[in-house]
Amino acid sequence: MPLILTLPRIHAPALPETGCWPVSDLDFLQHAQWQSRAQAEQNEAWLQPIPYLLLRNASGHIWCYQRSGGDARLTGRCSCGVGGHVDLQDAQPNAAIDPLATLRCALLREVAEELGAGSADLAQLSFQGLIFEGLSPIGRVHLGLLFTAHWLPDLPPRPVAGEALLGLGFRPASAMANNADFELWSQLAARYLS
């Protein structure tokens, strides 16, 4: 069973009911531990840190897509974040967890898996803050780590065949900030970046 990065909730920063906010450092991730995803998905004593990358074009618009599969709790919803769980393969072997390096590695792996893109397609990859929503069972066990990057190619990202993502193109943040078609994390991130 694959191992993912998890964080004891008692070591997380203070969490609002829902929100997106800046943090000065990621030191709280020094308390992270590896455990099976099956254990973490139902246990609200743990949070699963999820790197969540928003890709912006030269106009500052954000790339969006619709989910057509994957996690059944999100199927049919629109999103502007590319990302996923941090797997053990994303960390340096036999070393203490370096939060930023591990998160960046996980993000680049997810971008490659979902979009067939790499670091050469991105510029200005930077950490922006945290996303949390405690309103749903899925939200209460995940902690978003919001990143942004500039998408360099002229054409918009194209999801890899089989990834169950339908690209919708680049849109202004205001188009998703209060749009119920978008998952809540996307709305919160769009509001924060507007």
User: Whole-prediction pTM value?
Assistant: 0.94
Q: 173 by DSSP, 3-state: which?
A: helix
Which DSSP letter does residue 162 get?
A: T
pLDDT in tens, 64-101: 999 876 666 665 789 999 999 999 999 977 667 788 89
Helix, strand, coil shares of the chain, percent, nearest 5, are 25, 35, 40
Are 76 and 164 in contact by the 8 Å Cβ rule? The answer is no
φ and ψ at 116, to 5 degrees?
65, 25
Segments in 18-119 forming alpha helices (H): 37-41, 99-115
Domains and CATH numbers, the chain: 3-193 (3.90.79.10)
pLDDT in tens, 102-147: 999 999 999 999 999 999 999 999 999 999 999 999 999 999 999 9
